[in-house]
Structure 1
Amino acid sequence: MNASDDRPSGVTPLPGDESSGASALPSPGKPKQFGKYLLLEKIGSGGMAEIFKAVVRGAGDFHKVLVVKRILLAYSKDPSFVKMFTSEAQITSPLQHANIVSIYEFDQVDGQYYLAMEYVHGRDLQRVMARANKLGRSIPTDVALYIVGEVCKALWYAYNARDNFGNPLKIIHRDVSPSNILISFDGEVKVADFGVAKAATTSSGEMGGGLKGKLGYLSPEQVLGREVDHRSDLFSLGIILFECLTLKRLFLGRTDLQTLINVRDADVEKRLARHPEIPVEVANIL
């Protein structure tokens, strides 16, 4: 994505302006059977997986609507990727919290791995921000603070969660970004996609090297390749709060390299000075 971080509204690509990824519009088509799940429609896709709205049926008239995240077949044959996907399932499945998307099952059908998870009837924050930008409307401060507060609850819970033996997991999401924050039409806020999360019980070697997460929402520690803790997730969440309030990208540069440099330098004060509409109390948090 090539754009400056503070151009006039309608020029700067905001989260959700793109049509790819989890924010893609549903793809209509004939329902298809995948194991015990009936895939109703594709609601997202990426370079490595597809996401479907699905239904599973049981005895009598029982049925449950959920989401199936299915790895593309080519990646299902890659042992290292399968290991990473398995790690996501192992890390996320024990987490039971109102602000975290629940994982129901991890399995494979004819060699194609998938996750079955909670369906959230709503939109991700990326699409909400893009829609607000398109309509020329701002996100109210109290709404932005509510969303961020609910995400904080999820991150606190994940970091303080314990395994079945009582050992602290200290889970760090490492990809806190608008597309991974789901907002239901009932006002619930849930964090999704712990695909690059890391627990204290997972070694660095198991997770692999390289940058994890979307460039514009990384922390300086991630950019510099240093060890990260829960404060890295909070830094990413601070970026999201700024962008909710301003509908401007905080660190996005004209190139990926410039974006990384902007994150590394983290000159937040300079950017806050351009937005006096942000309440002082909120600016102090940022």
Structure 2
Amino acid sequence: MKESHFLEFLQHFVKHTKCSKEKPVLLLLDNHGSHLSIQGLDFCKVNGITVLSFPPHCSHRLQPLDVSVYGPLKKLVNRACDSWMTTHPGSTMTIYDIPNVVSTAFPLAVTPHNILAGFRAAGISPFNRDIFQDSDFLGAYVTDRPEEDQQETQVFQASEINVQPATNCLDGNDTPRPSTSGLCGKKAPTPEELRPLPKAGPRKGSGMNRRKRSSAILTDTPVKKALEKISKEKCTRQKEPYFQKQRRSNQRNQNVFMVTRKVQMKRTVSVWYAWNLFPKANHKKCGYSV
């Protein structure tokens, strides 16, 4: 999706919501680059649209489509593909068959019930600020990478843990009593200490150098001015390498022309010396007219 497509969507959005400055609306979006279009944000501000961006890495919980629509749509599309394969045995599905498959699954998944359920599950409408707990956004153990200054977690080997054999613990009167633990008051080692799960390695950079963003009102004046400044800097960086590349290309072409010219001059001088120094008899043998 590009910035021009986002502007077309906003025009469609205004047409169907009938929003204006007297009847403002709230539009929730993620921080995709196309949503940061200055032209699109200006259009939103004129038509009374307040654009609020999601926090990073939360779209799977906050976007209604991700919560309640895309999951059923994926299952129904897979079911439609299975039906197509059964109906067309021995045939290979091509891109020309996909629209027909999706057209049967789309009306069953994108229903008013599923759409409203997505807004309700995300806590948007009706608004519920306590619908999520901190445990919902905890990182997985394997991919939860430690901080750089944090020391590595100590790994316990089975031989390093002092585990006593299972014996009956005796009280002061030396009366035997049943024991459910062979550690006699010592803390039992956990499975994580005995055999910890492997940790994921350090995250590799994608090379795209994306700017990390947080939740913000994009149509707010300070935020919008900051986006305009970033957009101008981006345009400047894009234009400068082009002129430098063109300059290098012109210089390279000029160097090639000079080298070619020197080679041609050397060949001309060599032919002139050969013609004047060799005897004319050799010219006749070579087929040249004297």
TM exceeding 0.5: no
TM-score band w.r.t. shorter chain:
under 0.3
Say which structure is richer in helix.
Answer: 2
Structure of larger gyration radius: 2
Normalised TM-score (structure 2) = 0.17
Normalised TM-score (structure 1) = 0.18
